[in-house]
Amino acid sequence: GQNIDQPTEMTATEGAIVQINCTYQTSGFNGLFWYQQHAGEAPTFLSYNVLDGLEEKGRFSSFLSRSKGYSYLLLKELQMKDSASYLCAVNDSWGKLQFGAGTQVVVTP
């Protein structure tokens, strides 16, 4: 079966760094996505990893280790607007996205 695990909630202060881990066991793997979702809105694309290593995009970075079935999303210089749910999603063999339950990040002043 499909299994994608990520923490339920994380809290950090403005300006800090937060790392959201995601572990997965899926039928096939064609890349891993991270999406940001604010309450009541649709997900917005943040990053995509298909090869091992770190992808950096501004304040956000994403890392992938395929052998370990592990990824993380790193948010640096946290801002209040970063308070949102962050979804880890694996693109399986059929081109379907399998989503984790999401990690609610709460940024405090």
Partner 1 sequence: GAVVSQHPSWVICKSGTSVKIECRSLDFQATTMFWYRQFPKQSLMLMATSNEGSKATYEQGVEKDKFLINHASLTLSTLTVTSAHPEDSSFYICSARVGGRPRGDTQYFGPGTRLTVL
Shortest Å distance, C-beta 51 to partner 1: 10
Distance CA 101, CA 104 (A): 10
- Compare residues 16 and 106 and give the one whose CB is closer to partner 1: 106
Interacting residues with partner 1 between 60 and 99 (CB under 8 A): 87, 91, 93-99
Instruction: Answer for the pair 92, 29: CB distance below 8 angstroms, yes or no.
Output: yes
DSSP run (H or E) holding 5: strand 3-5
- 109 belongs to the binding site for partner 1 (CB under 8 A): no
Closer residue to partner 1, CB minimum distance, 15 or 28: 28
User: What gap in Å lies between CA 26 and CA 13, rounded to an integer?
Assistant: 34
By the rule CB under 8 A, 45 interacts with partner 1: yes
Identity of the residue, 87 or 107, whose beta carbon is nearer to partner 1 in the bound complex: 87
CA-closest candidate to residue 69, choices 18, 19, 32, 20: 32
Q: Is 58 in the site for partner 1 (CB under 8 A)?
A: no
